[in-house]
Amino acid sequence: MVYAVETETILILKGNIIFTPTSDQFVVFPKSYLVIHDGIVREIIEKLPEQYADCPLRDYGDRLIIPGFVDLHTHAPQFNQRGLGLDLQLLEWLNNYTFKEESRFQETTYAAAVYEKFAQELVRQGTTRVAAFATIHKESSQILFDTLVNKGIGAYVGKVNMDCNCPDSLREDTQTSLAETEELIKQWAGNPLVKLIITPRFAITSTRNLLAGLGELAVKYNLPVQSHLSENKAEVDFVAELFPEQKEYHKVYDHYQLFGQTPTLMAHCIYLTDEAVAVMKNNGVVAVHCPDSNLNLSSGIMPARKLLTAGVKVGLGSDIGAGHDLFMPRTILKAVQMSKAIYSVDNDQKALTLAEAFYMGTKGGGAFFGKVGSFEQGYSCDALVIDDDMGRVEGQSLIERLQRFIYTGDSVNIVARYVAGREVK
């Protein structure tokens, strides 16, 4: 296909291009040109035709060009808390560490300092799209929006809503919580890269009125939703106690239009009945697998294969600070490892392949943001350039080089990052 060429809006990246258009395999374009028009992938070509001769070209030589990573669940205010208190389980950990830390975000200067470090670390680690929880504080949430906009990262940011079962310092008045959320909704309606996502922390810290109001806002403004579901057995029991009229955890969200009525992310999804899985599938709710977090808090292991087989969409999350690691290749790898741990005791649940987990961390999770996470025509050009010269082994194929990067690589191997065709630093 021959395009008209507007040199000023074209950018061309050259290198060994690898991605997963489908979850079953890596597709490789050796030493090829990725042609980007207005931030969108136009085509991948082996030889550059005359028409592009005057367009800006960045030649990355023998390096790998892969999609940027998508982190579908993380808590920005817990960045300073990584690696601490992980001898506890979920509810104790929230009360003893997390709620104390999040209370500090009433101070905007503290928030600004932490969010700057968090955003800088996302860039460094190669995350180009993130769905992040902030805290209940409107001003601090505003700072997280601003910080991510300034860095040029694509994001959904959630001002957290909580109005019960939490310390006084984090308990909101229901109407104020809804009103402040609506103010932020209006304020962030227009940004192309950083958007608001409706974020009840989880059923436990939400009154019925809060859930009802948030569901109405989500539907009214057609906004996506993120929350937590069935992470820990004590949590599941507590939800059953708090919401006896709903027979199951997921029904609490579903009842209040927070479970797929608009695009929805549910983190963890470890202890689900078959019925809950069927509803997730039918409602298109995305299950976000956070293996490090689930291990660190002794929560259990999400049955990723079982969910995939049932037709549920699965993405990956770092879940900072219960998770400790923002480098998504290690979460990709951990998802594979956990599926193998399940397989070793239940041969019916086939292990994830590396391509499947890479897909989850790129195109699979990226779908929540639109056409993101692939280099097919029409996709946003979110890309990383990988320099794997250090420790390179002669004779390795491009796919082996990518495997090697995922297993043994680090942020130092990432030498350039692009979000929607724009380089971020």
Binding site for a second copy (CB under 8 A): 80, 82-84, 86-87, 117, 121, 292, 295-301, 324-325, 337-338, 340-341, 343-345, 351, 353-354, 391, 393, 400, 403-404, 406-408, 410
> Of the two residues 119 and 184, which places its CB atom closer to a second copy in the complex?
119
CA dist 86 to 90, 117, 321, Å? 9, 22, 10
> Of the two residues 9 and 309, which places its CB atom closer to a second copy in the complex?
309
Minimum separation from the CB atom of position 212 to a second copy (A):
34
Question: What are the percentages of helix, strand and coil residues in the chain, rounded to 5?
Answer: 45, 25, 35
Minimum separation from the CB atom of position 16 to a second copy (A):
17
Minimum separation from the CB atom of position 300 to a second copy (A):
4
Residue 13's H or E segment, with its range, is: strand 10-22
Minimum separation from the CB atom of position 233 to a second copy (A):
9
CA dist 155 to 67, 76, 94, Å? 16, 12, 24
CA dist 353 to 309, 350, 357, Å? 14, 9, 6
3-state SS assignment for residue 261: coil
> Of the two residues 152 and 321, which places its CB atom closer to a second copy in the complex?
321
> Of the two residues 231 and 382, which places its CB atom closer to a second copy in the complex?
231
> Of the two residues 55 and 354, which places its CB atom closer to a second copy in the complex?
354
Evaluate the omega torsion of the peptide bond into residue 321 and state whether it is cis, within 30 degrees of 0: yes
- Tokens describing residue 369: 């943001």
At which residue do the structure tokens 């409706």 appear? 198
> Of the two residues 92 and 183, which places its CB atom closer to a second copy in the complex?
92
> Of the two residues 99 and 343, which places its CB atom closer to a second copy in the complex?
343
Minimum separation from the CB atom of position 394 to a second copy (A):
9
Minimum separation from the CB atom of position 350 to a second copy (A):
10
Residue 109's H or E segment, with its range, is: helix 108-125
* Cβ–Cβ < 8 Å for 331, 285: no
Minimum separation from the CB atom of position 122 to a second copy (A):
13
- The vertex-152 CA angle with 146 and 153, nearest 5°, equals 90
